[in-house]
Amino acid sequence: MFKKILIANRGEIAVRVICACKELGVRTVAVYSEADRSSLHVRFADEAVCIGPPRSSESYLNIASIISAAEVTGADAVHPGYGFLAENPHFAEVCETCNLAFIGPSPETVRLMGDKNRARKSMSELGLPVLPGSEVVRSEAEALEWGNRIGYPVMVKAAAGGGGRGMRAVKTPEELPQAFQSAQNEAAAAFVSPDVYLEKFVASPRHIEFQMLGDTHGKVIHLGERECTIQRRHQKVLEESPSTQIEPATRQRIGHQLVEALRAIGYSNAGTVEFLMDEDRNLYFLEMNARIQVEHAVTEMVTGLDLVQLQILIAAGERIPIEGETVGLRGHSIECRICAENPETFAPCAGKVTGFHAPGGAGVRVDTAVYSESVIPPYYDSLIAKLVVHGRNRPEAISRMLRALQMFIIEGIATSIPLHEKILTDPDFRAGKFDTHFLARFSPNGAGLS
């Protein structure tokens, strides 16, 4: 087992990793920017090192500073969390070169899955269904040619993308040139690479993902699916497990296909395979995130497993302690992403938290790095807490989540709590009748694909 793990991240995920390490008896090193000097992850870690100014490019994305912090403190492993450098193959390679275990997939796997177009091709060859799409397109003329071949509407997507950036829905050939240029520019700014490709557009999709785990001994398992359809501009807002749209036989079939596919590419550690579901409940591979997901907590609630601890154990060479390809799912779990933003306009809301009370009670979990008098800086993602509940069934989970939201007090800044209350009381949501456009009914800024 590792003696000391450096956490190359901030906020709630850094605190989450610290919790897992404490239970394993592993010492921790927090890194922080000058804006996060008073953050909880700094307080809870055994050691903490300032790695730069507030801007993430000068701190949490500064590989040299992070590696230096690991060397100075004597860390023997690095956990990247999600976001920032979590899916940066160069960072994983640098860690290996510096004799630091990278708690995640191999650099080669991260590189393969980070190229969405290559990942689609690889998964298709391994038997997974994919939407009709193109290779990387380099010009407007080539994009138009592929658009005609695929058939409109189409989606322009960044090959190195994620989180909805570098994505544009195109209904007609006339719209394609502008969407192509816009997607290229956004992709270049967000991911360095301007490469984009085209994919068939599904009008009313649902977003389903499967949680996967693999170890270095060839064992791969799946832990069922998560429903991640409630989104704003491709950013997930609320997740749940299991999905109301996935029958046990489908779960077993898709899960087995994924186990076989990931075993074939030698996948190890945690990963999530994302699918688009069409109106006929057909699933199509979208991408694979080679890291822990924000919404991993809902899977933990329905399986009883600690995914972050399993990540650490796998990276240390341990075998996955589970027989077969999966475990049974128990009850139903829902997660609401609580963000520091206006619940109607979605404008970010940085500032001081003047009052804070986290809800508790049976089946309620709060992952956060926020406390009363803490300051939410304007430099990072607006996610400030994850409210997660578990119930015997979906109706009980919804009722429990509403109760928890009503007891969640965050004062001094605006949050998305009122939006989540609207979602959970909506008749269509309660009936399981929604797609990625669902939030458009509450705000034009909440359109799923706009």
Q: In CATH, what number is assigned to the domain containing residue 154?
A: 3.30.1490.20
Helix axes 296-303, 307-315, angle to 10 degrees: 100
* Final residue belonging to a domain, choices 103, 121, 148: 103
Burial group, residue 230, by CB count within 10 angstroms (0-12, 13-18, 19+): buried
Does 274 lie in the same domain as 322? yes
Predicted confidence (pLDDT) per residue in 21-44, tens digit: 999 999 999 999 999 999 999 999
Does 348 lie in the same domain as 250? yes
Does 235 lie in the same domain as 161? no
Task: Please report where in the chains the tokens 């907590």 appear, as a residue.
Answer: 297
| 164 pLDDT more than 90 | no
Q: What is the pTM of this model?
A: 0.93
Phi, psi of 446, deg, nearest 5: -95, 5
Predicted confidence (pLDDT) per residue in 261-285, tens digit: 999 999 999 999 999 999 999 999 9
Residue 324 lies in a domain: yes
Which residues are CB-neighbours of 435 under 8 A, at least 6 positions away? 204, 205, 206, 229, 448
CATH code for the domain of 260: 3.30.470.20
Residue 356 lies in a domain: yes
Does 227 lie in the same domain as 189? no
Residue 116 lies in a domain: no
Closest CA to 239 of 176, 171, 305, 293: 293
Rounded to whole angstroms, how far apart are CA atoms 234 and 191? 16
Residue 112 lies in a domain: no
Amino acid 116: pLDDT: 86
Does 216 lie in the same domain as 271? yes
Does 246 lie in the same domain as 269? yes
Does 226 lie in the same domain as 144? no
Residue 372 lies in a domain: yes
* Final residue belonging to a domain, choices 103, 118, 142: 103
Point out the catalytic residue in the list 16, 291, 337, 400: 291
Residue 435 lies in a domain: yes
Could you confirm whether 319 is annotated as catalytic?
A: no
Does 440 lie in the same domain as 320? yes
Residue 255 lies in a domain: yes
State which residues form the domain around 294.
206-446
AA identity, residue 262 = L
Does 389 lie in the same domain as 261? yes
Predicted confidence (pLDDT) per residue in 412-442, tens digit: 999 999 999 999 999 999 999 999 999 987 7
